[in-house]
Chain A
Amino acid sequence: MMNEVLLIGEAPLAEEVHQFFRNKKVKVRTLSEVPPYENGRVVAVMDVTAGPLESKITDLQMAERLVASEVPIFTSTLAYCATRLAANLEHPERLSGFSPLLLQESGVLEISQPLQAEDAPVWEKGVHLWESWGKRVEILGDEPGLVFPRTWALMVNEAAWLLTERGAESRDIDRAMKQGTRHPFGPLEWADRIGIDQVLWILKGLFEELGEDRYRPAPLLRRMVYANRLGRRAGRGFYQYEKMEVGKGHA
């Protein structure tokens, strides 16, 4: 029998996660597809939504009712720490925070343990699951954004500030970061690939949880999200794109 995961989230990230599990021969179900308590094959819940908090909690609570009590739940911890999200579950010790970014290309998976799962043997189950899917699991402390998303979003933020100040042009910013310090993508084109909304969630999450000005999102990023300039998928972000076909060209 094929294993199943219960996926919460929307394109483009959900698409990517979907693809990852297709390759692992794991069936992906969505919340509306899983009838209550007929789900012995669901081995994990994957919530890839960054926010907002209220709908994340609603979805996680619904998912929790649909699966057995020891099934691990993974939730995107880009904007909220895992402890905060776990506090809303009946079985908080089975929750892990994780980064759904770069799921296909990276050999590592970033995971954080909520305070409620300390000394809970059931929590380890989730780690083994990812190992069985071929990931090297990096267990991290519980702050929003973990390692890659936090580092990346702050560089995008700085590039957005620089752009706001007309310190340089977009294409020059991207070219310079690739040529001058050999980053794989320029920060702006990279943000367009992953999504401006994701960048903003990470920054807002750090800003709120850590309470420091260094994480204050550049107002330009907020305006881009208001205007739905979310990046490639939306046809426009820092750059303009031909509208892409759904299911193609993930980050």
Chain B
Amino acid sequence: MKAGQICAVLGAGTMGGGIAQFLATAGCETFLYDIDEEPLVKGLESIRARLLRLEEKKKLSREARESVIARIHPVTDLSSLSHVTCVIEAVVERLEVKRELFAGVEKVVDDQAWLATNTSSLSVTEIATVLHRPERMMGLHFFNPAMIMPLVEVVSGERTDEKVAKQAAEWMSNLGKEAVMVKDTPGFLVNRVARPFHNEAYRIVGDGVAEKSQVDRILREAGFPMGPFELQDLIGIDINYAASVAVYEGNFQDPRFRPHPAQRKLVESGALGRKSGRGHYTYDE
């Protein structure tokens, strides 16, 4: 569709804030919605702080920073979204919450508006069936941090109109993202194909083939920017574990995706990675 999309981003958390910043920087008028003032204020603060850092690093002029901020309109009322042409939802990963939100959104927006979810672990198809017109609903799966990572997975659910998905992919490319078209299977593309990188690392250690530090060293030497264990420490072992479980459950417990009990143990013990001071490795505060 045209560059002149009027967007709504639902949810002002890490992903929502990142997506809103990306859209506004790319020139789109963007409504940032959250249910309360408080998360909205917090989300906006983070965006402002990030933009200010860019200005300090001379990557953004003051005028540009101000106009990006001016393009983001915080709202706490769905009815303010009546003339948006595109909605990207990035709220908590709970099916019922998302379905309820989309049912509300559909009542407000135009019939032609695109609806997209940034879910990473739920079925796009299942979220979409709450709609009267599920064919204009798709997944737009951004990677964290959304304003920096180039990739977006454009996910077609069972009932998504392929034309709409293609147009959305083109739109994303026009805004500077690398868009790939994928079908709605658990983990979509990246999270699915990367599963063995994480899950098998636990197997290799569990089988006594290698120590964690050896696995990391060998895979770094092979060209991966980080080994699986140091990478999990960075992104959070709990986050990584949740992704593994979602793909496993989504595939009716296909053994190909079975997570390792050693990962659950770490999560249970509170060793979540850098953010908790220890994970696979130990970190100084």
Interface, chain A (partner B; CB < 8 A)? 102, 105-108, 110, 112, 136, 138, 140-143, 146-148, 150-152, 154-155, 157-159, 161-162, 165-169, 172-173, 175-177, 179-185, 187, 212-214, 216
Contact = CB atoms under 8 A, between A and B. Distances in A.
B29 to A, nearest CB: 27
Interface stretch (B34-42, B106-114, B208-216): B208-216
Given A108-B221, A168-B183, A183-B224, A150 B192 contact: no
B224 to A, nearest CB: 6
Contacts of B197: 151, 155
B151 A176 contact: yes
Given A138-B210, A148-B222, A177 B258 contact: no
Interface stretch (B16-24, B158-166, B199-207, B265-273): B199-207
Given A155-B197, A179-B178, A216 B221 contact: no
Given A138-B214, A177-B189, A180-B143, 11 more contacts: A106-B222, A140-B209, A147-B218, A151-B228, A155-B194, A167-B182, A168-B180, A168-B182, A173-B180, A176-B151, A214-B258
Chain A, interface SS category: mixed
A248 to B, nearest CB: 21
Given A140-B214, A148-B222, A158-B196, A172 B181 contact: yes
B250 to A, nearest CB: 13
A105 B218 CA distance: 12
A147 B214 contact: yes
B4 interface: no
Give the contact-size bracket for chain B.
Answer: 35 or more
Contact of B210 (A141, A157, A183): A141
B185 interface: yes
B195 interface: yes
B236 interface: no
Interface of B is mostly: mixed
Contacts of A140: 209-210, 214
B238 interface: no
19 contacts: A102-B221, A106-B218, A108-B217, A112-B209, A136-B217, A140-B209, A141-B207, A147-B209, A150-B204, A151-B219, A151-B228, A157-B196, A167-B183, A167-B189, A168-B182, A168-B183, A177-B194, A181-B143, A183-B224
Nearest to B141: A180
Contacts of B200: 150-151, 154
Interface in B205-248: 207-210, 214-215, 217-219, 221-225, 228
Given A147-B219, A175-B178, A168 B189 contact: yes
